[in-house]
């Protein structure tokens, strides 16, 4: 599978214009059920607001997309929020913007800008991660090789899983596709061929975008 970007956890932001107050809530959503539950929770929490508009994008390819204007003029709220998500290249994310009307109408253009900006503020406040596939390779080696191998893995910045200490050491290596061959070749050279590699499938990890 390909890697994709999403948000981790939840985030909030506040934007005020012309006496209207816009509260943005962002959350990771792994399914349509989770996205809908988050939207309903926000509507329940802010039941006294004029509007609770929403948008979400789901799936590794971003194939599932939906938005709701919740009473605002058609196309002035949900769609601008949806576009804000798409422009940041994110998926598996839901955004709800709650509006407390301040008595001054913003007009269609003003609403589009306000909801788009509110969504952007919420997404900027969120922690972004890249869901990245890693090959899991079980490294089997003798205890006498453990120290130099651990040092090599630290130097190369290789992620590892929980090590099993039995008759020999079994260390799960989590390798990106582009580093896999080089790391395995380096370990083979380091141990003079006295280690063994065993394919063990794939795991998807949330990697911070600054990592």
pLDDT, residue 211, reads 44
pLDDT, residue 210, reads 65
Query: Would you say 40 and 46 are in contact if contact means Cβ atoms under 8 Å apart?
Result: no
DSSP H helical segments within the chain, as ranges? 32-45, 78-87, 107-125, 146-156, 177-190
DSSP state of 13: E
Provide CB contacts within 8 A for 163, sequence distance 6+. 169, 170, 171, 172
Tokens of 129: 């991660």
Residue 124: count of CB within 10 angstroms of its CB: 14
pLDDT, residue 163, reads 96
Q: What is the pTM of this model?
A: 0.82
Whole-number Cα distances in Å, 21 to 84, 104, 206, 210: 19, 11, 33, 32
Query: Would you say 67 and 82 are in contact if contact means Cβ atoms under 8 Å apart?
Result: yes
Q: Which residues of the chain have pLDDT under 70?
A: 210-211
Q: Which domains does the chain have, with CATH numbers?
A: 4-125 (3.30.230.30), 133-204 (3.30.70.240)
In angstroms, the CA 29 to CA 32 distance is: 7
């Amino acid at each position: 599978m390909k890697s994709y970007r999403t948000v981790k956890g939840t985030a909030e932001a506040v934007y005020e214009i012309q006496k209207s107050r816009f509260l943005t809530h962002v959350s990771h959503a792994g399914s349509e059920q989770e996205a809908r539950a988050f939207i309903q929770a926000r509507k329940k929490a802010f039941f006294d607001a004029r509007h609770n508009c929403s948008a979400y994008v789901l799936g590794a390819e971003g194939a599932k997309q939906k938005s709701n204007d919740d009473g605002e003029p058609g196309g002035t709220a949900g769609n601008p929020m949806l576009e804000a998500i798409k422009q940041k290249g994110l998926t598996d994310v839901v955004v709800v913007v709650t509006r407390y009307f301040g008595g001054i109408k913003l007009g269609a253009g003003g609403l589009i800008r306000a909801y788009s900006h509110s969504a952007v503020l919420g997404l900027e406040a969120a922690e972004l991660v890249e869901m990245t596939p890693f090959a899991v390779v079980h490294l089997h080696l003798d205890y006498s090789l453990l120290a130099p191998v651990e040092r090599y893995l630290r130097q190369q910045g290789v992620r590892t899983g929980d090590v099993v200490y039995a008759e020999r050491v079994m260390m799960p290596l989590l390798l990106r596709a582009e580093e896999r061959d080089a790391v395995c070749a380096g370990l083979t050279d380091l141990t003079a061929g006295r280690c063994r590699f065993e394919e063990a499938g794939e795991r998807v990890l949330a990697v911070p975008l600054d990592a």
